Amino acid sequence: MQFIPDVSKEKAETIYKNFKERILVYKRKGLDLIKSREFMLNKAGPLRGDILEIGTGSGYATVALARAGYRFISVDKDKEALKKTALKLAYENILGNVKFYLMDGSSLTFSDESFNNIFVINLFHHVNDIDKMLSEIDRVLCRNCKAVLADFNQKGMEIVSLVHKQEGRIHEDSGIGRDLVYSYFKHLGYGIESYDEECHWLLIMNKSKSE
């Protein structure tokens, strides 16, 4: 179901202020959320065709993609995440670049081979039924097209967990890492390039024309 955000200037200003403060909190700990997204976009190269982001989350990748001028669809099963990210985009006057859908990334309602590019950033460590999500990524990605998948490495996870602990919260971690994701798509015949950023692992995957 498409999510139509309720946007006001006052709400956008408040959310964006919190967004910037959050970026600084992590940067002081050694996790540069802006730099990491720039690294991922640079490695992904020019994106052509339809783009799907699975897992809007806090909106760091969503904002980076929209800032870069891409128009795309972003989905999340958390309505509050969609709402807050929409306000961040509205503050920067780039909300028109994104269509939001309230949708579980493990059960997408899009047709087979609907997208030329798929982004999944910092979501895997939240996922328990990983095979279902990876299967959905493969299903909706067109042949001879690209998936950009990334998540925290050990250093990144330690920083995020520390920040959450200092705030009296627990950061969930399903333990899903690069090796499992790599193996899944390698078995399907994907061409895979693997990269390391300071606090992330990154896989740029190309789906072969025939499987």
pLDDT at 112 over 60: yes
Residue 106: the pLDDT is 96
How far is the C-alpha of 54 from the C-alpha of 105, rounded, in Å? Answer: 6
Mean pLDDT of 17-25: 97
Cα–chain center distance at 179? 18
- Predicted local confidence at residue 86, as pLDDT: 97
Q: Which residues of 97-115 are buried (b: 16+ CB within 10 A; e: fewer)?
A: bbebbebebbebebeeebb
Topology of the domain covering 2-206: Rossmann fold (3.40.50)
Residue 181 pLDDT more than 70? yes
- Model pLDDT, residue 211: 46
pLDDT tens sequence across 61-101 = 999 999 999 999 999 999 999 999 999 999 999 999 999 99
pLDDT given at position 170: 92
Residue 187 has pLDDT above 50, yes or no: yes
* Average model confidence (pLDDT) across the chain: 96
| Whether the model pTM is above 0.85 | yes
Query: How much is the average pLDDT of 161-181?
Result: 94
The residue extents of the domains of the chain are 2-206
User: Per-residue confidence at 209, pLDDT binned at 50, 70, 90?
Assistant: low
User: What are the φ/ψ torsions at residue 143 (nearest 5 degrees)?
Assistant: -70, 150
Check residue 208 and give its pLDDT.
83
For the stretch 55-69, pLDDT in tens is 999 999 999 999 999
DSSP 3-state of 40: helix
pLDDT at 5: 87
What is the 3-state composition of the chain as percent helix, strand, coil, each rounded to the nearest 5?
45, 25, 30
**Nearest residue to 24 via CA among 15, 33, 11, 14:** 33
